[in-house]
Structure 1
Amino acid sequence: MTSRPIVRDVLRMLGGTAAGIAMLPSTLVAVVTTPRRPAPTVLDALATRLTWMDGIPRRVPPARRTRGLLALSALLQLVVLCILALIAAGVVVGIQMLVAAATGGPVALFSARPGRVTWATVGLFVAPGLVLLFLALSGLGGIAWLERRVWDAFQRPGAGELSQEVVRLHTTLDEVVDAVDSERRRIERDIHDGVQQRVVALSILLARVERSDPAEGAALLRTARDETQNILDDLRDVAWRTYPEMLQRDGLAVALRALRDRVAMPVHLDVEAAPIADRAAETAAYFVASEAVTNAIKHADAASITIRVRSGDGLLSVRVEDDGVGGADAAGTGLSGIASRVAARDGRLRVHSPVGGPTVVEAVIPCG
């Protein structure tokens, strides 16, 4: 049971070593041509080779470290090539000595005349040869280990990069807090100007029912029931804009279909996204679509909206396009809020809205 993984690891190391030797010419060319091609292609191939060897995913390091990584990889492969050449030379010498001892013939590499190489001579070379072979094979394994450590060191962020990332995260956190506060204020306005006013109107209707005659009271009660339904609809709208329970329960595609059905404007929904377990990414994508649709309805004077969702390669993308008048402000409260939400997921948001339209809001979000 335990021998199979060991044999597999050895075979993968040997296969990765052979692949590294085969890639040596392209690696040397990439060192010279960095940062132009074929350096990116070679780096991708090197990362794939190392990932295949030990099963640990590796990403390409920052561009400014590319040349150094390629140069070290080429140097290590040159050392591997030298070790393999020495092993091959040792094998050739060993075979010639065995043939000479068995047949009494000469050894051309040593200029040994016929009969000079005996089995005793071969025995004197066996122990040193085995030690050298062991050291050579150990060197190959050590270089394979060293190459992986070099790659890990180059892809690890430096102090300056970590400092920039901390600053970015602090900025993103401040933007997210501001967006949450703005969303709370908007919900408060919706409740105050919408639901609260309807509740006040409903209480006035009920008070009139108490003072009216039966005929008028029946009509007022029907009006009160209608007003109650309007209040419920407003509360559902506020709840949907806060966080739709359907998104958590059924996923992004179902939530977007429900969003489409709640909008009076024609909305074309095109979802080709495999189910993902990253609910945070789905939530960010949903609110991108929801805010873009809301802006199109309120400001764009659009006739139709298209929502397109795709997933693959660890990314979830959502694109919302309307045929309105354009001129959307990416720095506005709504779009800046979803931009902060997307940035918090290390994603990208693009808003293209020339005057005259169309407006395109597109987000690309990493997902697990």
Structure 2
Amino acid sequence: MTHPTDAASSTRSISRDAVRMLGGTAAGVVMLVPTLIAVATAPRPPAQAVVRSIAARLTWVDGIPRRTPPRAPRLRGLLALSALLQLVVLCILALIVAGVVVGVQMLVAAATGGPVALFSARPGRVTWATVGLFVIPGLVLLFLALSGLGGIAWLERRVWQSFQRPGAGELSQEVVRLHTTLDEVVAAVDVERRRIERDIHDGVQQRVVALSILLARVERAEPAEARRLLSGARGETQQILDDLRDVAWRTYPEMLQRDGLTAALEALRDRVAMPVDLAVDGTVVPDRAAETAAYFVASEAVTNAIKHAQASVISIRVRSADDELTVTIEDDGIGGADPAGTGLSGIASRVAARDGRLLVRSPAGGPTVIEAVIPCG
């Protein structure tokens, strides 16, 4: 048995949803002129702004977030259909306003015995009986008009879904891109694995061997010499621990997972001997996968600058806006960086794996600017 309170609450919810749907659809008329302008400018920035406005209005109507707009080639079609639907809404609203004006004039004329200018009706010609004859047709027309607004609200959502959904050609291109990205990621992982293996073999392993030799000498040495050798062994042990921490840090810094991107980049800055200028603008989006990609982009770009750029200073800029995380690394080195080289191609693969964008500017003589835009969420 349904409780009366629950039934009343359900009725209020339905009424509220209906008002939001009709009001949101009618509000689209305000964007008619900007939408027509955007049809002519698509896919340039004015069109993007209008599409974001349409997405925000549809989200307000039904509460479904629409964070990913249609691809650029589809924007003009979406905007053209949106403009057409808004024109239809404008016509429906004009008919509703005209009906209300006629109804009000007829009520006033019936109550006062005055004329109705729209009908050229003389005073006294419109009576309550006349008003009664128009009530049922007027209500039917109002119902049809509101139903039309509801239908357009449904059509607007369907149009958005249709244009947001990729076509067969786009899906084929995306499959090819993903296969290419997968191959690049596998190659980058192999390179990284070999680097870690080399670091362990050439660094940690050699120090462990040296430590074992020291300890063997301790066993055969006199007490005074043994104490000196043990002191050296302790120093060698500390160096081994430092090398292990360094390898672990380059593999994946624990601070990144624990404290976030800003703290990890600050630690990276402090570990680099070269001056690094770090600036984080705004609140970094709490997306660990995006933060991880951003950190390794910065780390690998700094490593490349130290090895090859002959730079004297490096700057790192991080900013977040519109569900995107942007990392910009710039150095004042000699420039001429090759985007197809091992270092930059690894960075590009890491960014592509997150469906991001990488921009490299490195003219001869410098400076070199690497910018990665990584989607969040």
Instruction: After TM superposition, list the pairs within 5 Å mapping 1:270-289 onto structure 2.
Output: 270-289=279-298
| Cα deviations by residue, 1:260-285 (Å, 9 ceiling, x for unpaired) | 22222222222234243211111111
Report the residue type matching 1:16 in the other structure.
G
Cα distance in 1 for partners of 2:54, 2:335 equals 46
8 A contact 2:109–2:124 mirrored in 1:
yes
Partner of 1:333: 342
SS in 2 for 1:319: strand
58, 79, 82: which one aligns with 1:70: 79
Number of equivalenced pairs: 368
SS in 1 for 2:172: helix
Partner of 2:272: 263
Cα distance in 2 for partners of 1:357, 1:33 equals 36
8 A contact 2:359–2:372 mirrored in 1:
yes
Identity %: 81
Tell me whether 1:57 sits opposite 2:65 in the alignment: yes
97, 100, 108: which one aligns with 1:91: 100
Tell me whether 1:13 sits opposite 2:21 in the alignment: yes
Cα distance in 1 for partners of 2:75, 2:148 equals 25
| Cα deviations by residue, 1:64-97 (Å, 9 ceiling, x for unpaired) | 3333323322222222233233333333443444
SS in 2 for 1:361: strand
Let me know the Cα RMSD of the aligned residues.
2.6
Cα distance in 1 for partners of 2:232, 2:134 equals 108
Cα offset for 1:50?
A: 2.6
Tell me whether 1:27 sits opposite 2:35 in the alignment: yes
SS in 1 for 2:295: helix
| Cα deviations by residue, 1:17-56 (Å, 9 ceiling, x for unpaired) | 4432233344344445555685444434333333333333
**Structure 1: gaps of 5 or more residues:** none
Partner of 2:226: 217
Structure 1 residues 229 and 34: CA distance shift in structure 2, 3 A: closer
Cα offset for 1:244?
A: 0.9
Comparing 239-248 and 79-88, the one that deviates more: 79-88
Normalised TM-score (structure 2): 0.87
Cα distance in 2 for partners of 1:262, 1:67 equals 50
Cα distance in 2 for partners of 1:133, 1:51 equals 26
Cα distance in 1 for partners of 2:222, 2:257 equals 49
Cα distance in 1 for partners of 2:242, 2:335 equals 30
340, 347, 352: which one aligns with 1:343: 352
Tell me whether 1:173 sits opposite 2:152 in the alignment: no
SS in 2 for 1:329: coil
Cα distance in 2 for partners of 1:322, 1:278 equals 27
Comparing 124-133 and 33-42, the one that deviates more: 33-42
8 A contact 2:22–2:146 mirrored in 1:
no
SS in 1 for 2:296: helix
Report the residue type matching 2:354 in the other structure.
R
Comparing 101-110 and 13-22, the one that deviates more: 101-110
Cα offset for 1:340?
A: 1.0
Report the residue type matching 1:19 in the other structure.
A
Cα offset for 1:168?
A: 1.0
SS in 1 for 2:257: helix
Comparing 260-269 and 14-23, the one that deviates more: 14-23
Structure 1 residues 194 and 130: CA distance shift in structure 2, 3 A: same
126, 136, 141: which one aligns with 2:145: 136
Cα distance in 1 for partners of 2:30, 2:233 equals 82
